[in-house]
A and B are shown apart, each in its own frame.
Chain A
Amino acid sequence: MPDLGLDVLLKGKNLARLLGGLGVAMRISMIAVVISIPLGIILGALMTWKNPVIKAILRVYLEVIRIMPQMVLLFLFYFGTTRAFGIDISGEMASIVVFTLWGTAEMSDLVRGALIAIPVHQYESAEALGFNRMQTYRYIIIPQTVRRLIPLSINLITRMIKTTSLILMIGVVEVLKVGQQIIEANRMVSPNAAFGIYLAIFMLYFFACWPISMLARYLENRWRV
């Protein structure tokens, strides 16, 4: 078996540091997910309304966030807020804000897509049965939308977890940065450590994202009509 430099993982506190780095990545992405999913659902519902003002505002928000690379957004919020307003926010806070804004925008578009995919006769039937707007959403539209949304939002959540690898650019030491630090600290004694460390990081990301996929599959099966 080729030398993968896996022994480096067991040196000192290296393994604990990698797990700590994963903890940072998961904490940031999960806080962002928890905030952006409900916000995204509300905004997505608003986007299907006929009010042109709301529609325009949300459209601009969505496009701005979607067009800008996450890296640019991170720099804007970390360094930009300090330059413009003198507010000094931590790298972790800036990451949470950017990931929440991004997650909300993406989620709202997924919700909008799922909502307009519901055939018009569903709304019309509800109206015919005397449901008001709230009731129509609560009992007819949302249950159908949620089912369509599960696979889409799982995709978004795992993307958010993996995109945390960018936050090292604003000084947040997450799992990838810890990995690079370990590789560099050992580049003399174990030059092959890169393989072992990247393999370990791959496994860590996998085990972070896999349970989420499993949960999605479980929910899809349970809610199958």
Chain B
Amino acid sequence: MKRIVTIILTAVLALALAACGSKSSDSSTTGTVYRTLDQIKEDGTINIGVFSDKNPFGYVDENGDYQGYDVYFAARLAKDLGVKVNYVSTEAANRIEYLQTGKVDVILANFTVTEERAEEVDFALPYMNVALGVVSPDANVIKSLDDWKAEDEMIVISGTTAETYLTANYPDIKLQKYDTYANAKNALENGNGVAWANDNTEVIAFALQNKGYTVGIPELGSKDTIAPAVSKGNTTLLEAINNEIKSLKDEKFFHKDYEATLLDTYGKDYEESLVVEGGEVK
């Protein structure tokens, strides 16, 4: 009995120490967390974080295969690096954490470039344009955020640029935060909030596919870009991705990508304004 008690106590203590240790370790880490280009090539598999429930950018089809605009590029990147690809399902709120711990090599999950994020991760050249937009039901279309009613609530997804922008610029607007895209969508459809703020590509697509919703504000805030991201300091991989994006310009790869994955959702009208070719923003 005494021995059992000792063993258990040791285990509990070890666990408690482990828990405390990880709590107080937000400060800098020792050693590198990421894998360099050579290490990835040696391993033969690249881990790429993508969305698995964000049609048409990153989603899983009925056969369990990853598809979408981001995934189309991810597959090409892996092919040109000569490695196999392992897709990791990420959420908007945990993308940075995945890179900072090196649990993925690249994030290709519709990642909008912002200054704050650039301090935490390294962005490669952009491959898409994006701004914020606000969609609301036809019965009460929100066209401006300036005369926001105090009791109304805005739906956002945690960890997205929409959340950051609204918190900084419209602190009086009450936000309803959801962890996943699917939950935010349900919330709007159930009338939990009066409007939904997200990337404009998202809200345009939502309004095109769902009758009874209008994009009252198609462009809000500054125009941003979407780019791949790697762990801070992973220059070899960053350069490889940048070179890849530059070399794909000649074959108009991202236009092909758009036509293969986004055409059904946005139509031909948005192709030129959304696609960024060769990392050059016009």
Contacts and interface: CB of A to CB of B under 8 A. Distances in A.
Interface residues of B, number: 53
Given A80-B23, A182-B62, A183-B53, A57 B209 contact: no
Contact of B13 (A57, A64, A80, A183): A57
A79 interface: yes
Contacts of A99: none
Contacts of A11: 62
Interface string A7-18: 000011110010
Given A80-B23, A182-B62, A185-B59, A57 B33 contact: no
A125 interface: no
B222 interface: no
A187 B62 contact: no
Interface string B27-60: 0011101000000000000000000111100011
A75 B97 contact: yes
Contacts of A75: 94, 97
A188 B55 contact: yes
Contact of B89 (A64, A86, A173): A173
Given A82-B103, A169-B179, A185-B59, A54 B9 contact: yes
B210 A61 contact: no
A39 B264 CA distance: 55
A42 interface: yes
Contacts of A96: none
Contacts of B31: 86
Given A12-B62, A171-B89, A181 B22 contact: no
B265 interface: yes
Contacts of B52: 173, 177, 181
Contacts of B4: 42
B180 to A, nearest CB: 6
Interface in A46-74: 46, 54, 57-58, 60-61, 64
Given A57-B12, A57-B13, A83 B61 contact: no
Which of A61, A186, A188 gathers most chain B CB within 10 Å?
A188
A91 B210 CA distance: 35
B229 to A, nearest CB: 16
A149 B217 CA distance: 57
Contacts of B145: none
Contact of B12 (A17, A58, A173, A194): A58
A132 B69 CA distance: 71
A122 interface: no
Contacts of B5: 46, 54
B281 interface: no
Contact of B60 (A61, A86, A169, A181): A181
A152 to B, nearest CB: 22
Nearest to B180: A180
B15 interface: yes
A82 B8 contact: no
A191 B210 contact: yes
A64 B88 CA distance: 31
Contacts of A169: 91, 93-94, 179
A85 interface: yes
B101 A82 contact: yes
B181 interface: yes
Contact of B16 (A14, A61, A183, A186): A61
A187 B265 CA distance: 11
A180 B8 CA distance: 40
- The 7 A-B pairs at the shortest CB distance, nearest first, are namely A12-B62, A80-B22, A84-B25, A82-B101, A180-B182, A184-B53, A181-B60
Given A80-B22, A180-B53, A188-B264, 18 more contacts: A12-B61, A14-B62, A43-B8, A46-B5, A76-B22, A79-B94, A82-B101, A84-B29, A86-B31, A169-B91, A169-B94, A169-B179, A173-B89, A182-B60, A185-B62, A186-B62, A187-B55, A187-B185
17 contacts: A57-B12, A61-B16, A82-B103, A83-B22, A84-B25, A85-B21, A169-B91, A169-B179, A170-B94, A171-B88, A171-B103, A180-B182, A181-B53, A182-B62, A184-B182, A187-B55, A188-B265
Interface of B: 1, 4-5, 8-9, 12-13, 15-16, 18-19, 21-23, 25-26, 29-31, 33, 52-55, 59-64, 67, 88-91, 93-94, 97-98, 100-103, 179-182, 185-186, 209-210, 264-265
